[in-house]
């Protein structure tokens, strides 16, 4: 009998059980971890799904509100937020029906005037170190239109006089600080309550929007990129019209890489498109240079600053052209072109109208690239510089300095400014720097109201808000018009 083998088998008996138990334990831990991971993923997926469903319902709610506005069921929203009761009919609005709860409101953004796009200035702050918007006030009336600023803090917005008036809302992007309380302007122990006067029921409005969600760029005339655009003589042509002893230098539309104004004399830019490619326009050190541009197309844009000049015959001939849409001028700046107004110069530009299918933009100066420059500057050493720029100035990456301009009683820039940095003066004589009427669309009847539509949808406890800004011209019959400016999802 083999006792040794029997002894070995006796000692091995039961050894498998602990191994099995250990395997089961390890397997259980792995499976438990996988279960927790799967559960977490399922919960996360459910949250993501709920958020996506809430976002879709909120956007659908905003679009439903736009339809209600378009159908004239919602009009001016004058008295604060107006609730819009959404339909939960699965057939009519299946996405809306997925929400557990949805609230849709409409409120008025403009200040109640008849002009919708009354932006006097949209300041972008793009690439600016220092102050974005500075007002050197003397006439106590800085703007008659609305202002949009990237910030409303002292380092970005400076008021250098007391009782500066803004006849409209001051909008600012408060997204960086959650629309926190405005940092008071500290000047001689005064506060902004003393230095800034908001008239016509204006108010500070925290509006978390990027500047390019606030204002649409004007369309660029296709001739700007046309290689066949003519290249006229940079010195223009001097004409001495009958009955005048003073010549007028006339410039033709086209592409310029340099420009020679008649310094101290009269200059007229015939109606049309001008592309200045690395060509600065400088009224020079000689006092009294006059620069006029464009024939007025309609009564909104007429000569107001200076009339009866030796260039009047050239302008009258300009009005006989066969393409009325080409009345007025637009100067396109590229390659770092600049515009300098110096030494008692007089400038008046009547704008060309550019239609983007929604509105007509009246544009006098538009920067079309991001090359350093694009500056519109007034030499502070040149007193009594007079300028009336009746079309929009579009320079979202450049500086616009108007601090030493005189204008007329209706403003210096009557269709608004979009600039990275804006330095303004309410003028030493006439009172208004920026007349915002029609800054985004010179067709001032294109829409009567600007509405903010907000839809908040909740799905399984997850809430998402969507906002839309629309332009609305209500009408009792045909002609109702709604233009959607922007739609944003706010998590």
pLDDT digits (tens, 9 = 90+) for 426-441: 554 444 566 554 332 2
Q: Say if CB 311 and CB 266 are below 8 A apart.
A: yes
Q: How far apart are CA 280 and CA 174, in angstroms?
A: 37
Q: How confident is the model at residue 192 (pLDDT cuts 50, 70, 90)?
A: low
Dump pLDDT digits (tens) for 408-431.
544 578 788 899 988 876 554 444
Q: How confident is the model at residue 221 (pLDDT cuts 50, 70, 90)?
A: very high
- What is the structure's pLDDT at 105? 86
The number of beta carbons lying within 10 Å of the beta carbon of residue 140 is: 13
Q: How far apart are CA 268 and CA 245, in angstroms?
A: 16
Q: How confident is the model at residue 190 (pLDDT cuts 50, 70, 90)?
A: very low
Token pair of 317 as six digits = 């001939």
Q: CB-based contacts of 154: which residues, under 8 Å, 6+ apart?
A: 183, 184, 185, 186
- What is the structure's pLDDT at 6? 57
Percentage of the chain surpassing pLDDT 70?
66
Residue 226 has pLDDT above 70, yes or no: yes
Token pair of 418 as six digits = 């979009």
Q: How confident is the model at residue 1 (pLDDT cuts 50, 70, 90)?
A: low
More confident residue, 260 or 182: 260
Q: How confident is the model at residue 153 (pLDDT cuts 50, 70, 90)?
A: confident
Q: Say if CB 153 and CB 132 are below 8 A apart.
A: no
More confident residue, 488 or 290: 290
Q: How confident is the model at residue 116 (pLDDT cuts 50, 70, 90)?
A: very low
More confident residue, 160 or 404: 160
Q: Say if CB 216 and CB 117 are below 8 A apart.
A: no
Residue 488 has pLDDT above 80, yes or no: yes
Question: Which among 81-95, 135-149, 277-291, 410-424 has the top mean pLDDT?
Answer: 277-291
Q: Say if CB 287 and CB 264 are below 8 A apart.
A: yes
Sorted by where each begins, the domain ranges of the chain are: 43-112+447-490, 119-425
- What is the structure's pLDDT at 442? 30
Q: How confident is the model at residue 443 (pLDDT cuts 50, 70, 90)?
A: very low
Residue 448 has pLDDT above 70, yes or no: no
- Which of 147, 191, 137, 143 lies closest to 169 in space, CA to CA? 147
Q: How far apart are CA 51 and CA 132, in angstroms?
A: 37
Q: How confident is the model at residue 138 (pLDDT cuts 50, 70, 90)?
A: low
More confident residue, 256 or 463: 256
Q: How far apart are CA 266 and CA 348, in angstroms?
A: 12
- What is the structure's pLDDT at 429? 45
Q: How far apart are CA 113 and CA 437, in angstroms?
A: 10
Residue 318 has pLDDT above 70, yes or no: yes
- Written in H, E and C, the secondary structure of the chain is CCHHHHHHHHHHCCCHHHHHHHHHHHHHHHHHHHHHHHHHHHHHHHHHHHHHHHHHHHHHHHHHHHHHHHCCCCCCCCCCCEEECCCCCCCCCHHHHCCCEEEEEEEECCCCCCCCCCEEEEECCCCCCCCCEEEECCCCCCECCEEEECCCCCCCEEECCCCEEECCCEEECCHHHCCCCCCCCCECCECHHHHEEECCCCCEEECCCCHHHHCCCCCCCHHHHCCCCCCCCCCCEEECCCCCCCCEEEECCEEECCCCCCCCCEEEECCEEEEEECCCEECCCCCCCEEEECCCCCCCCCCCCCCCCCCHHHHHHHCCCCCHHHCCEEEEEECCCCEEECCCCEEEECEEEEECCCCEEEEEEEECCCCCCCCEEECCCCCCEEEEECCEEEEEEEEEECCCEECECCECECCCEEEEEEEEECCCCCCCCECCCCCCCCCCCCCCEEEEEEEEEEECCEEEEEEEEEEEECCCCCCCEEEEEEEEEEC
- What is the structure's pLDDT at 137? 64
- What is the structure's pLDDT at 189? 42
More confident residue, 70 or 293: 293
- What is the structure's pLDDT at 186? 43
Mean pLDDT over 84-106 rounds to 69
Dump pLDDT digits (tens) for 251-305.
999 999 999 999 999 999 999 999 999 898 998 888 889 999 998 876 778 887 7
pTM of the predicted model, to two decimals? 0.70
């Amino acid at each position: 009998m083999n006792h040794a083998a029997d002894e070995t088998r006796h000692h091995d008996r039961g050894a498998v059980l602990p191994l099995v138990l250990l395997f089961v334990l390890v397997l259980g831990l792995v499976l438990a971890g996988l279960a927790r991971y799967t559960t977490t993923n399922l919960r996360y997926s459910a949250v993501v799904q709920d958020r996506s469903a809430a976002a879709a319902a909120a956007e659908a709610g905003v679009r439903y509100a736009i339809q209600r506005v378009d159908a004239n069921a919602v009009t001016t929203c004058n008295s604060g937020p107006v609730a819009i009761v959404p339909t939960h009919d699965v057939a009519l609005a299946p996405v809306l029906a997925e929400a557990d709860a949805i609230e849709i409101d409409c409120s008025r953004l403009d200040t109640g005037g008849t002009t919708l796009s009354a932006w006097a200035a949209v300041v972008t702050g793009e690439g600016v170190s220092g102050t974005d918007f500075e007002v050197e006030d003397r006439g106590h009336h800085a703007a008659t239109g609305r202002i949009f600023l990237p910030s409303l803090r002292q380092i970005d917005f400076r008021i250098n006089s007391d009782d500066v008036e803004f006849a409209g809302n001051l909008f600012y992007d408060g997204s960086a600080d959650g629309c926190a309380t405005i940092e008071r302007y500290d000047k001689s122990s005064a506060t902004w309550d003393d230095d800034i006067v908001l008239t016509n029921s204006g108010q500070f409005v925290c509006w978390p929007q990027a500047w390019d969600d606030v204002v649409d760029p004007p369309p660029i005339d296709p001739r700007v990129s046309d290689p066949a655009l003519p290249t006229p003589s940079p010195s223009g042509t001097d004409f001495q019209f009958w009955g005048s002893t003073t010549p007028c230098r006339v410039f033709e539309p086209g592409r310029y890489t340099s420009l020679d104004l008649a310094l101290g004399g009269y200059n007229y830019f015939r109606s049309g498109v001008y592309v200045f490619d690395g060509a600065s326009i400088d009224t020079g050190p000689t006092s009294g240079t006059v620069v006029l541009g464009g024939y007025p197309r309609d009564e909104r844009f007429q000569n107001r600053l200076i009339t009866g000049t030796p260039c009047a015959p050239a302008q009258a001939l300009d009005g006989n052209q066969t393409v009325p849409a080409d009345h007025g001028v637009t100067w396109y700046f590229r390659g770092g072109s600049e515009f300098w107004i110096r030494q008692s110069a007089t400038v008046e530009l009547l704008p060309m109208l550019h239609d983007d299918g929604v509105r007509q933009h009246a544009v006098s100066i538009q920067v079309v690239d991001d090359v350093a420059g694009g500056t519109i500057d007034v030499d502070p050493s040149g007193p009594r510089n007079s300028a009336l720029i009746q079309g929009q100035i579009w320079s979202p990456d450049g500086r616009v300095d108007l601090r030493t301009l005189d204008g007329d009683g209706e403003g210096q820039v009557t269709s608004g400014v979009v600039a990275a940095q804006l330095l303004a003066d309410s003028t030493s004589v006439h009172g208004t720097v920026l007349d915002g009427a029609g800054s985004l669309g010179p067709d001032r009847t294109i829409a009567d109201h600007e509405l903010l539509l907000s839809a908040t949808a909740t799905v399984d406890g997850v809430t998402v808000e969507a906002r839309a800004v629309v332009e609305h011209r209500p009408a009792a019959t045909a002609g109702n018009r709604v233009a959607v400016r922007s739609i944003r999802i706010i998590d």
